Amino acid sequence: MANWDSNQDEWVSYKRGNTPHLTNNTNNRIESKWGKIKDVINDSFTIDQLLSTLMTLQHYAEEQYLAEYHRVGSRPSRDSEDRELTLLALQLNTPGRATVTSPRSGEVHEVNTRTNSCNCIFMKTCLLPCRHVMYV
Higher pLDDT, 136 or 40: 40
117 φ/ψ angles, rounded to the nearest 5 degrees = -125, 160
Q: Let me know whether 43 and 65 are in one domain.
A: yes
Maximum CA pair distance of the chain? 62
Q: Is the pLDDT of residue 109 over 70?
A: yes
Query: pTM to 2 decimals?
Result: 0.37
Structural domain total, the chain: 2
- What is the H or E stretch that residue 97 is in? strand 97-101
Would residue 3 count as lying in a domain?
no
Q: Note the pLDDT of residue 77.
A: 66
- Comparing 2-6, 53-57, 70-74, the range with the smallest average pLDDT is 2-6
**Tally of CA atoms within 13 A in the half-sphere of 68 that contains its CB:** 5
Q: Which of 35, 55, 75 is the last residue of a domain?
A: 75
Q: Let me know whether 121 and 94 are in one domain.
A: yes
Would residue 112 count as lying in a domain?
yes
Would residue 8 count as lying in a domain?
no
Q: Let me know whether 27 and 71 are in one domain.
A: yes
pLDDT digits (tens, 9 = 90+) for 118-132: 888 888 888 888 888
Would residue 125 count as lying in a domain?
yes
Q: Let me know whether 27 and 59 are in one domain.
A: yes
Q: Let me know whether 92 and 119 are in one domain.
A: yes
Question: Rounded to an integer, what distance in angstroms lies between the CA atom of residue 19 and that of residue 63?
Answer: 38
Q: Let me know whether 92 and 64 are in one domain.
A: no
Q: Quick one: pLDDT band at residue 52, thresholds 50, 70, 90?
A: very high
Q: Note the pLDDT of residue 114.
A: 83
Would residue 5 count as lying in a domain?
no
Q: What is the share, in percent, of the chain residues with pLDDT greater than 90?
A: 10
Q: Note the pLDDT of residue 135.
A: 83
Would residue 115 count as lying in a domain?
yes
Question: Rounded to an integer, what distance in angstroms lies between the CA atom of residue 79 and that of residue 84?
Answer: 13
Domain range holding 58?
22-75
∠ CA 14-18-21, rounded to 5°: 85
Would residue 38 count as lying in a domain?
yes
Would residue 10 count as lying in a domain?
no
Per the document, the length of the chain is: 136
